[in-house]
Amino acid sequence: MGRELLKPLGFIDGRWVPADDGGTIAVDDPATGETIARVPWMGAGETHRAIDAAHRAGPDWAARTAGERARILRRWHDLMLEEQEALATLLTREQGKPLREARAEILHATAFLEWFAEEARRAHGEVIPAHAADRRLLVLRQPIGVVGAITPWNFPSAMVTRKVAPALAAGCTIILKPAEQTPLSALALATLGEEAGVPPGVFNIVTGDAPAIGSVLTTSPVVRKLSFTGSTATGRLLMRQSAETVKKLSLELGGNAPFLVFDDADLDAAVEGAMLSKFRNAGQTCVCTNRFHVQSGIHDAFVDRFAARIRGLRLGHGLDPASDIGPLIDASAVAKVEAHVADALAKGAELVVGGRRGAFDGGYEPTLLTQVRADMLVNHEETFGPLAAVIRFETEDQAIALANDSIFGLAGYLYTSDLARAWRVAEAIETGMVGINTGLISTEVAPFGGIKQSGLGREGGRQGLEEYQELKYLCIAA
């Protein structure tokens, strides 16, 4: 059945609606600048109505059995699989990533629906051995209630289901504000969720004025939880705005991943891992390596192999099957990569590959710098682009110190054939996640998240459901 998945409207209380004042904002293809659609420019009024709808829908949704909620999530998963090619194409058009990466993201997004449909039915509480013979102690796990969610543009489908699936599985209702650059994937998900049986008011989408919408979501006492994925700067702001109503927070924020290659590493595996962890989504993922720390003995061989692989990458439109690297999301993203390259070269780095804009708007060639030093911007700021910066090190202790010299702590990677070293370094790195001899770590079955200024809480895994639950302790006089 040819479903219409391109829905240029907000979704509030089960109805597809325009902005109150009819205002709209363009959604553009980042590779061509062509406008794909216009979505509502909504603000405070629409957000209050969405919160009210979620609040009204909450009790009935929470009262459903976990099995009933699971079956709807499972149906939603199946509908996404039916439409995976259309969803992937829409995602590439609005976000720019190569179609094969968009297909992978759609599968990753459906996996969260399947995983939390399963987890919903295992949200067990506890019976505690009592402190007195005439007492019986229980711990219940109950849904938090109304959730506000705000998601980024780099994974416009998976970042949505990574929040919506556990929230609904737990019995919560949710108001989502997707990134203004990439709202269409979220709206398409809502279309399929509606068909899957998600009741009106359980899942709402408000598009448009981020500060206005965010201000209502963070200050409304009805919203008991805020789940945010995006930059650390925005995360700090939302955290401050949420303080007055003491909201439970999930914050998936910025990263600055170190990638350590020791002399005893498998060179081919390290280069493969480096390609995966650096150039996925043109380097626009929070877990992308931001700085490569390579031990002296393997440094030159690693750089030569890495450079050869990077030179083989094709830059182009995401819908072109020959493209390995798509455009960056906008001009400011390109400017940031350029600033990091210029700063590094001015401070003595060496350009090995790339170093210039691509042949089309929004493109930046995959780039490799060596002789990078700790005082360069690329070492302590998140580049969020296809720039690989290599820093040489001598000793294991030096590598750990370099890796931990950051306010961020999301992901880190290390390559070694020494198991004892793998344990030592993995335990010493200050990140929430570590890839050991692999450059690809994201999965729905494990807790994803960071420490330090990379965030609070975890998404995915068993822990991902607990982020949407409150514990209630019952003390019963027996």
Ligand X SMILES: O=C[C@H](O)CS(=O)(=O)O
Ligand Y SMILES: NC(=O)c1ccc[n+]([C@@H]2O[C@H](COP(=O)([O-])OP(=O)(O)OC[C@H]3O[C@@H](n4cnc5c(N)ncnc54)[C@H](O)[C@@H]3O)[C@@H](O)[C@H]2O)c1
Specify the stretch interacting with ligand X by CB under 6 A; choose among 137-145, 279-287, 388-396, 412-420: 279-287
CB-neighbour burial class of residue 424 (10 A; exposed 0-12, middle 13-18, buried 19+)? middle
CA distance 185 to 188: 5
Contact between 181 and ligand X by CB under 6 A: the answer reads no
Amino acid found at 297? G
Specify the stretch interacting with ligand X by CB under 6 A; choose among 24-32, 122-130, 282-290, 324-332: 282-290
Q: Which residues belong to the active site? A: 252
Tokens of 11: 């979704």
Pair type for strands 469-477 and 135-143 = antiparallel
* String marking each residue 287-326 x if it binds ligand X according to CB under 6 A: x---------------------------------------
Q: Which is nearer to ligand X, 101 or 194 (CB)?
A: 101
Place of tokens 């005893």: 264
Q: Which is nearer to ligand Y, 59 or 211 (CB)?
A: 211
User: What is the four-CA torsion angle of 284, 232, 91, 365, rounded to 10 degrees?
Assistant: -20
The partner in contact with residue 237, picked from ligand Y, ligand X, none with C-beta cut-offs of 5 to 8 angstroms by kind, is ligand Y
Q: Which is nearer to ligand Y, 110 or 454 (CB)?
A: 454
Cα of 168 vs its chain's centroid, Å: 18
Least distance between ligand Y and beta carbon 49 (Å): 18
CA distance 153 to 161: 14
Tokens of 397: 């202790």
The partner in contact with residue 442, picked from ligand X, ligand Y, none with C-beta cut-offs of 5 to 8 angstroms by kind, is ligand X
346 Cβ contact partners less than 8 Å away, ≥ 6 residues apart:
none
Which residues lie across from 126 on neighbouring strands? 139
CA distance 141 to 159: 24
Q: Which is nearer to ligand X, 73 or 158 (CB)?
A: 158
**Could you list the residues that contact ligand Y (CB under 6 A)?**
150-154, 159, 177, 179-180, 210-211, 214, 229-231, 234, 237, 252-255, 286, 382, 384, 410, 450, 455
Q: Which residues of 183-194 are buried (b: 16+ CB within 10 A; e: fewer)?
A: bbbbbbbbbbbb
Specify the stretch interacting with ligand X by CB under 6 A; choose among 125-133, 151-159, 374-382, 463-471: 151-159
243 Cβ contact partners less than 8 Å away, ≥ 6 residues apart:
none
The partner in contact with residue 28, picked from ligand X, ligand Y, none with C-beta cut-offs of 5 to 8 angstroms by kind, is none
Q: Which is nearer to ligand Y, 142 or 231 (CB)?
A: 231
Q: Which of 115, 116, 155, 468 binds ligand X (CB under 6 A)?
A: 155
Q: Which of 220, 250, 285, 416 binds ligand X (CB under 6 A)?
A: 285
Q: Provide the 8-state DSSP code for 445.
A: T
Tokens of 219: 């200050």
Least distance between ligand Y and beta carbon 438 (Å): 18
Query: In the range 98-127, which residues lie near ligand X by CB under 6 A?
Result: 108
Place of tokens 């003995």: 297
Least distance between ligand X and beta carbon 243 (Å): 26
CB 417 within 8 A of CB 264: yes
Least distance between ligand Y and beta carbon 246 (Å): 19
Least distance between ligand X and beta carbon 161 (Å): 11
Tokens of 279: 């150039």
CA 288 to each of CA 254, 342, 356: distance values in angstroms, whole numbers, following the listed order:
10, 21, 20
Contact between 153 and ligand X by CB under 6 A: the answer reads no
Tokens of 409: 């702590």
Least distance between ligand X and beta carbon 154 (Å): 5
Contact between 383 and ligand X by CB under 6 A: the answer reads no
Least distance between ligand X and beta carbon 123 (Å): 23
Q: Which of 154, 157, 181, 370 binds ligand X (CB under 6 A)?
A: 154
- The SS3 call for residue 88 is helix
Contact between 442 and ligand X by CB under 6 A: the answer reads yes
Least distance between ligand Y and beta carbon 217 (Å): 8
Amino acid found at 318? G
Size of the site for ligand X (CB under 6 A): 8
Can you give the binding site for ligand X, defined by CB under 6 A?
Answer: 108, 154-155, 158, 285-287, 442
